[in-house]
Structures are given as C-alpha cells and as structure tokens.
Amino acid sequence: MRRRRGERTPLNAEINVVSLIDVMMLLMVIFMITAPIMQGGVDVSLPKAEAQPLEPKSGLVVTVDRTGTIFVDETKLTYNEFRASFGALASKRAKDGVYLRADQGVPYGLVVRVLAVMRNTGTPNVGLVAEPEDIATGAAK
C-alpha cells in the first residue's frame, strides 16, 4: 500500500509503558534495599527498664556507645569537644528536648559526667532512653 501525494500517515497515539514499568520496578527494589540502611543512628544496647514509651519527637539525641565515644545526633565527639560545644548545640536544637542514649555497658561515671554537662548548660528537659521491659514476666523483650 503506497501513500499518495498529500496523504498523511495516521498518528499512533499509544504509549509503550512496559519500559516505564521496568524502571519503576527497579527503583522500587533499590528503595526497598536502601531504606533500612538509611535509618542510621549509633548502634547501642540500651538498658531495660519498666518505663512508659514516649511520643517520638525531633529533639537532640546524645549517644554514648560501649567504648565511651559520645555522639551528638551522628557526629562523633570526644568528651572535651562535647563539653565545649554542647551549649551551642543545645541552644539551637534543644527546644524539643534532649535525649540521652547510653549503652548498658558504659560505666555509670561517664553517663553522670555527660548528664552533668547537659544540666550545666541549662538544658531543662533531659530524657534518659531505655528499652521497655516485659512487666508480666520481668524479663526483657
């Protein structure tokens, strides 16, 4: 079938979505793999206690890991750096509260020293974070 002069070819108004679906599936797999990794934070083994769960807030999180390293959110600091800079950090971000997460293997003295720095900067609300305990059996979850 030949076209005559002046005749136009009919338009093909279909969209091939097969390749778009392939790209969408690939992106979905990538996001499913990377989403758990992006939930960062410092890995600590929190002590177990009979405590009521709190509503999650966007406050400042101070973490002391098993080796005694101090993290403000995810920034690694020595004790002296923490003592020097916490006042400035707290003045900017402590409106929603400050949460202290300490590994259960950290010496009590270090936790008290970190807490004293927080209190000396005038931070009024410091929450200590713990894992909930199974009240019925007394065993940790």
DSSP string of 24-72?
HHHHHHHHHHHHHHTS------PPEE--PPPPP---EEEEE-TT--EEE
Residue 7 bridge partners (DSSP): none
Range 116-141 average pLDDT: 73
Predicted confidence (pLDDT) per residue in 54-112, tens digit: 665 677 888 998 888 899 888 899 999 989 988 888 888 767 778 888 888 888 899 89
86 in a structural domain: yes
Q: Tell me the pTM.
A: 0.60
Residue 112's domain comprises 48-132
Predicted confidence (pLDDT) per residue in 28-67, tens digit: 998 888 876 665 566 666 667 776 666 656 778 889 988 8
Q: Closest Cα to residue 101, out of 74, 76, 72, 64?
A: 64
125 in a structural domain: yes
Q: Inform me whether the pLDDT recorded for 26 exceeds 90.
A: yes
Number of domains observed in the structure of the chain: 1
Q: Inform me whether the pLDDT recorded for 25 exceeds 90.
A: yes
The 10 Å Cβ neighbour count of residue 79 is: 15
CATH of the domain at 108: 3.30.420.270
Per-residue pLDDT at 141: 47
14 in a structural domain: no
Q: How many Cα atoms sit within 13 Å of 64 on the Cβ side?
A: 24
Range 132-138 average pLDDT: 62
92 in a structural domain: yes
Q: How many Cα atoms sit within 13 Å of 27 on the Cβ side?
A: 6
| Secondary element (H or E) of residue 108 | helix 108-120
6 in a structural domain: no
